[in-house]
Amino acid sequence: MKTQLKTEVNIGSLSLKNPIMPASGAFGLEMEKAIDFNQLGALVPKSITKLSQPGNVKPRVCETIAGMINSIGIQSKGLDHYLEVSVPAFARYNVPLIASVSAESVEEFVEMSSILGNHPNIDALELNISCPNLKGDGKAFGMDPYITEDLISKSKRVANVPVIAKLTPNVTSIQEIAIAAERGGADGLTVANTLLAMAIDVETRKPLIGNVMGGLSGPAIKPIIVRMIYQVAKVCSIPIIGCGGVMSGKDALEMIIAGAKAVQIGTASFINPTAITDIITEIHTYMDAHQINNINDLVGSVEI
């Protein structure tokens, strides 16, 4: 008889039935038509901002080799719409809802954490301290360890759910920021976000992105993210959620073996609309083939 595969993982007090969830920038209710949300480990809708905002100028995406650059700029209908429309719609699924939060200041992060982190239908917060498309030439809150620690600890104090910090890869030492987030009380770390990038059309000599620079995602960045997961896992003891360039179950497993407890899928869904659920199936197949009964046994199992 086949052993029941154990795919449940925990991020702080949050329990996920499997380690696979969408990356916030690449997920919305509209994808109900493509995949069964009840199969996912968690739901992570697009980052929410306090007030509605229009996003960046066009073109907002361009293609690169094995990847894409985006500068969407968090187009958002604002917190009120999120609470009135999005949260009830996601709450219909029997899957934890992780609210991705974006804000303009530490105070605004705290204010939103207080509202969202005490909502009965929100199970965790992912603080997006790493979006490279906002003001300041791609600068993000998460580039400074002091701001990171302060922001996380203040948000943590007012939220009643696990708080995950989504780190930026656009730093010299991601470990330094990861340690700061852990010190601030983060329950988990998403490693990482898109890499600040630029592409130019040599015929017109113009940037391919309206905002000049944007965030690179896709398989081109995966080896960098795997390295960062490995580095962060060595210095932090809180769970890591890998994010960046996963296209297949094998890619997700690579991140888990490097030290991630869960994995987010973003750009892959643009290429294959059922990528997230396909990856869950591929992980089951792998576990079966390698006689891994518990996914947690794979976390950080890289042999050096």
Partner 1 sequence: MKSYQAVVLLNRQVSKRYWHMIIDTTKLNSPVDPGQFFHIRCSDNQSPFLRRPLSVYKVNDNTIEFLYLVKGLGTKEMSFIEENETIDIMGPLGEGFHLESTARTILLVARGVGVATLAALAQAAYFQGTHCVVILSARTNEDLLAADFLKGFGADVYSVTEEEGTSAVENVKGLIVNEIFEKFKIDNIYTCGSKRLSRLAQEVAETYDIPGEIALEEHMGCAMGACFACVSDIKEEGIVKSVRVCIEGPVFPLRKVLL
- Binding-site positions read 24, 46-47, 70-74, 128, 166, 193-194, 218, 244-245, 266-267
Smallest gap from Cβ 22 to partner 1, in A, equals 9
Binding-site residues for substrate sit at: 46, 70-74, 128, 193-194
What dihedral do alpha carbons 9, 186, 216, 257 form, nearest 10°?
-40
Binding-site residues for FMN sit at: 24, 46-47, 128, 166, 218, 244-245, 266-267
Smallest gap from Cβ 180 to partner 1, in A, equals 30
Let me know if 121 is exposed, middle or buried by CB neighbors in 10 A (0-12, 13-18, 19+).
middle
Q: Which is nearer to partner 1, 54 or 120 (CB)?
A: 54
Q: Which is nearer to partner 1, 28 or 88 (CB)?
A: 28
CB-CB contact of 164 with 127 (8 Å): yes
CA distance 57 to 55: 7
Smallest gap from Cβ 269 to partner 1, in A, equals 6
Q: Which is nearer to partner 1, 64 or 114 (CB)?
A: 64
Q: Which is nearer to partner 1, 31 or 158 (CB)?
A: 31
Please confirm, yes or no, whether 243 is among the known catalytic residues.
no
The residue type at 225? I
Among candidate residues 62, 131, 236, 243, the one labeled active-site is: 131
Smallest gap from Cβ 70 to partner 1, in A, equals 7
- Residues facing 62 on adjacent strands: 69
Q: Which is nearer to partner 1, 235 or 271 (CB)?
A: 271
CB-CB contact of 26 with 247 (8 Å): no
Binding-site ranges for partner 1 (CB under 8 A): 25-28, 30-31, 33-34, 46, 54-55, 58-68, 70, 72, 75, 218-219, 269-274
CA distance 149 to 141: 10
Task: Express the helix, strand and coil content of the chain in percent, nearest 5 each.
Answer: 35, 20, 45
Q: Which two tokens stand for residue 257?
A: 């073996």
Smallest gap from Cβ 157 to partner 1, in A, equals 32
Q: Which two tokens stand for residue 58?
A: 């066009």
CA distance 251 to 230: 14
17: DSSP letter? S
Q: Which of 235, 289, 293, 283 is nearest to 255 (CA)?
A: 283
The residues that are catalytic are 131
